[in-house]
Structure 1
Amino acid sequence: MKSELYDHEPLEQDILQRYGDSSEDIMEESKKKMEQWTRKDEIESQAQVDRVNIQLKGAIEAGLAPSSPEVQQIIHRHFKSIGRLYKPTAEVYRSLGELYVSHLDFKNIFDSYHPNLAEYLRDGMKIFAKEQL
């Protein structure tokens, strides 16, 4: 099933340019899993991402550090949501966090929740990758 929520092609090309052919296997794994998804699965996945972003926005507003146990629990839920598509290594998960900050499409999505969310999530992902992966 082709995703109706996103046009993945431009992002895939950008990822290949940034990270090389090693990222191609991850994208293929992700595509194969998503082909099995129903429309309901896509909507539930997006809702899960939305909940994580809203919770992280709340954590920023509460003044919690990305390293706090509460934030790391939210980051763990983010990691699990990514795991529905592929199993990221620590390096891949850290790189994904960097992509969230450096890629304008991702940055704009996160900025719609909170202007510091992309950087906050990236920082939390780095900590999670170092301590948990």
Structure 2
Amino acid sequence: MGTGAVGNSYEDECRQSLAEEQAKSLAATNDWEHVDREQVHRDWDVLYREITAFLAGGSLPGDQQIQELVRRHFDIVSRFYLPSREAYVGMSLFYAEDEAMRAFHDSYHPGMVEFLGAAIKVFAEQGNGFAPRAGAETSA
């Protein structure tokens, strides 16, 4: 998505979008009370085990089968709220930057966080299914 100052600026935008969109969703849904969290965790466990098998087999983040798995990840995330492209990339940054989230994801495979982050960025670049970014202008 970019390097240097442009990449950092974009990443900051993604972090901010994640924080704003999650806060708004949490407030509107009484802390996501509509989500069956046990089912979500079961679904993520199955998904991460599938991703691990492909990662261990040498798949690349942009491979079609990986992108199909990322679509499933996005669909699970969307049970909470429909993120913008930036918020979804922000989630991958959160996975990498939060110690507990990194440990959780990397417990499946030592390279899971980086691999999933790269795959999410590829998915985001394709742009299908995302909510408009909060505050973004829309055209009629």
- TM-score when normalising by structure 1: 0.76
Task: Classify 1:44/1:65 alpha carbon distance in 2 versus 1 (closer, same or farther; 3 Å).
Answer: same
What displacement does 1:52 show? 1.4
Aligned 8 A contact 2:15 2:91 in 1: no
Q: Which residue, 106, 112, 118 being the options, matches 1:111?
A: 106
- TM-score when normalising by structure 2: 0.73
By percentage of residues, which structure has more helix?
1
Q: Are residue 23 (structure 1) and residue 19 (structure 2) matched?
A: yes
Aligned length: 113
Task: Classify 1:35/1:132 alpha carbon distance in 2 versus 1 (closer, same or farther; 3 Å).
Answer: same
Unpaired runs of 5+ residues, structure 1, are 1-17
If asked which structure has higher relative contact order (CA below 8 Å, sep 6+), I would say 2
> Where do 4+ consecutive residues of structure 1 move more than 2 Å?
18-28
Q: In structure 1, what is the equivalent of residue 136 of structure 2? A: none
Identity of aligned residues (%): 23
Unpaired runs of 5+ residues, structure 2, are 1-13, 129-140
What displacement does 1:96 show? 0.9
Q: In structure 1, what is the equivalent of residue 6 of structure 2? A: none
Matches within 5 A, 1:9-88: 19-20=15-16, 23-30=19-26, 32=29, 34-37=32-35, 41-88=36-83
Task: Classify 1:65/1:44 alpha carbon distance in 2 versus 1 (closer, same or farther; 3 Å).
Answer: same
